[in-house]
Structure 1
């Protein structure tokens, strides 16, 4: 686990104007193993959309135990590049979490 990722929790956040809006707030920045899978490219709504399937493994903690597909991951930290979580599987008995995620390769 030699990479840093930021876990983003779905919920209500305050925008630049002070209004409450649906969005994502940082939950935790943790060490992770990030392993890209082969990407795919598809034609959607007359535009090319590339996806980057990725498997991210993190250590288990109470803070991240309820991570779910409503949440997102930012990697690299501070880049603004976000990955949608598709599934979260517990490894062993609270040893870690294996996260299947998809990020836009062209975004």
Structure 2
């Protein structure tokens, strides 16, 4: 993976349980697990109508150097926008990681 194509900075976050309330309800927050260089491609923007409202679903692909432990439960912050991770794909033999995200 060429370093020149990794020209965007993204933050990968994980939802963690900080503590519990006096009623045993979990208190959760998003914790930063990595800030990495990535390449970014906006794949599609699909407009949907669910009968009550119209919304746009944006799908983007981020390519990063290999980083173990990332799951679909994590999320990406890029350029002030939040992307939920829809899928992960290994590039080569742990050379890189292709992450498809949906803007939340």
**Does the alignment reach a TM-score above 0.5?**
yes
RMSD: 1.8
Q: How far does the alpha carbon of each residue in 1:17-41 deviate from its partner, in whole angstroms, 9 at most, with x for none? A: xx96223211111000010012001
Residue of 66, 72, 77 corresponding to 2:75? 72
Which structure has greater strand proportion? 2
Q: Give the distance between the partners of 1:38 and 1:58, measured in 2 at CA.
A: 20
Map 1:13-52 to 2 at 5 A. 13=18, 21-44=27-50, 46-52=52-58
Where does residue 90 of structure 1 map in the other structure? 90
State which structure, 1 or 2, has the greater radius of gyration over its C-alpha atoms: 2
* 1:56 lines up with 2:59 in the alignment: no
> TM-score w.r.t. structure 2 length?
0.81
Asked whether the 8 Å contact 1:41–1:51 carries over to 2, the reply is yes
Unaligned ranges ≥5, structure 2: 1-5, 20-24
In the alignment of these two chains, the number of paired residues is: 94
User: Are residues 47 and 27 of structure 1, via their aligned partners in 2, closer, same or farther at CA, if it must alter by over 3 Å?
Assistant: same
CA shift for structure 1 position 69: 0.7
- For residues 34 and 89 of structure 1, what CA distance do their matches in structure 2 show? 15
SS state at 2:35 partner: strand
| Consecutive aligned runs of 4 or more in structure 1 exceeding 4 Å deviation | none
Q: Secondary structure at the match of 1:67?
A: coil
